[in-house]
Amino acid sequence: MENQESISKKTRVDLQSLPTRQYLDQTVVPILMSGLAYLSKERPPEPVVALAKYLLKNKSTLETGTITENVSQNIESTTEGKINCDK
């Protein structure tokens, strides 16, 4: 348990020291790309609200690191079928 806490703390410190572009690429860009893919496919009448809901529903996947695995699948699925906002 203590080891996980120290790793998590070290990761947060490492993120703080990154240049802006790398920080955004590692923290926000993956979930934003997934959310934008969702918007481009679904075309909701209120895209900002839909994106906000998508980000809130999927923020736990970002925290666990699984969102990066789903980004390419979501982008590819924009041409193949619907993206599920309820992931």
| 42 or 7, which is more confident | 42
Q: Which residues, at least 6 apart from 62, have a Cβ–Cβ distance to it below 8 Å?
A: 27, 30, 31
Which tokens belong to 84?
């599920």
Global pTM reads 0.59
Nearest CA among 40, 64, 65 for reference residue 54: 40
Q: Among 27, 14, 80, which Cα is nearest to 72's?
A: 80
Looking at residue 74, what is its pLDDT? 53
Residue % of the chain over a pLDDT of 70: 55
Q: Would you state the pLDDT for residue 81? A: 47
Calpha distance 24→55 (Å, rounded): 15
